[in-house]
Structure 1
């Protein structure tokens, strides 16, 4: 019995010490959001033009899930963390997010989201640049909306589950910004 207990303790210690590291970014195994424990579902690298490393993205969910549609439509808290690997003007980051929205929503959905998109634009306009090492956190809170934090500071909450779903589609939609990044976030890479 004692050997079994020691083996279990060693296994637990090695699991907790095995936090994922990607491109020098250490990712937490778990986090808490809205009184819900979230686990690291997966992570990946966003590149531009196949060579420029832009950010490491990590997806946190209440439990691991490899089904993108189920994650997008879930009625549970979810979090995406973007750890910047280079300096990016906030306008360019915003434009990149807009491209992802346009690629994954219909014209009518995009038109309905315009007031919320203007709110997001105001948030990113208030910060001129995100720098290497900065973190952008997008918390998706059912019934509340999308909580955006930049550089560790809460900027605002954009109301509505529709906006949260549209934002998740940027990375998990049928036309995700990167298929490799999507696979990483879904834990399949």
Structure 2
């Protein structure tokens, strides 16, 4: 009994919070839940984006309920979140933008014209706020608002439309993703 009391005192003094569960993806810890508007989302899966054998970023996908259908996730008109944590100092705004442009080309089968203004607005955010190792980006979709962009937990801007969200999430989850292993990880496979 004495040991139990000492354990409770130690927890109280150290301020440990066991209710904040996390999952480690690569070297990055992701919370198992994420609040998008009034909806609590759950970590569906995650993975590491590699380019030329370099870990570029770690990504986690948060959904209202677990699923393994990437196309359905991309097209779903429901709260969702993609969290990206930059893990390489070699990543900068310019190469991130170029890589993302390529991703949009793959996601839309080369037909970016209907959403090009939205893509341009989105990409300009990464020039306005230079990318650095350790940055955390949340791309939170809310049906009546669009994709809300957060950098290091600070709101940056919103890009409206399910069409934009479908193309953006399709970069990682569509039928022609930028990284098949990353897609499998996001889908929890």
- Shorter chain as denominator, the TM-score bin is 0.7 to 0.9
Aligned twin of 1:25: 28
What is the count of residue pairs matched by the alignment? Answer: 171
Whole-angstrom CA distance in 2 between matches of 1:16 and 1:119 = 38
- Counterparts of 1:162-181 in structure 2, within 5 Å, are 162-181=163-182
Please report how far the alpha carbon of residue 121 of structure 1 lies from its aligned counterpart in structure 2 after TM superposition.
Answer: 2.4
| 3-state secondary structure, aligned to 2:67 | coil
Please report how far the alpha carbon of residue 16 of structure 1 lies from its aligned counterpart in structure 2 after TM superposition.
Answer: 6.3
| 3-state secondary structure, aligned to 1:27 | strand
- Counterparts of 1:150-189 in structure 2, within 5 Å, are 150-188=151-189
> Do 1:144 and 1:161's aligned partners in 2 also have CA atoms closer than 8 Å?
no
Where do 5+ consecutive residues of structure 2 fail to align? 1-17
Whole-angstrom CA distance in 2 between matches of 1:183 and 1:96 = 19
Runs of 4+ in 1 over 2 A off after TM superposition: 15-19
TM-score by length of 2: 0.85
User: Which of these residues, 31, 34, 39, is aligned with residue 36 of structure 1?
Assistant: 39
State the Cα deviation string for residues 1-51 of structure 1 (Å, max 9, x = none).
xxxxxxxxxxxxxx96863212221111111101001000000000111x1
State the Cα deviation string for residues 96-154 of structure 1 (Å, max 9, x = none).
111111012144x41011111121122111022x2221101111111321111122221
Please report how far the alpha carbon of residue 84 of structure 1 lies from its aligned counterpart in structure 2 after TM superposition.
Answer: 1.1
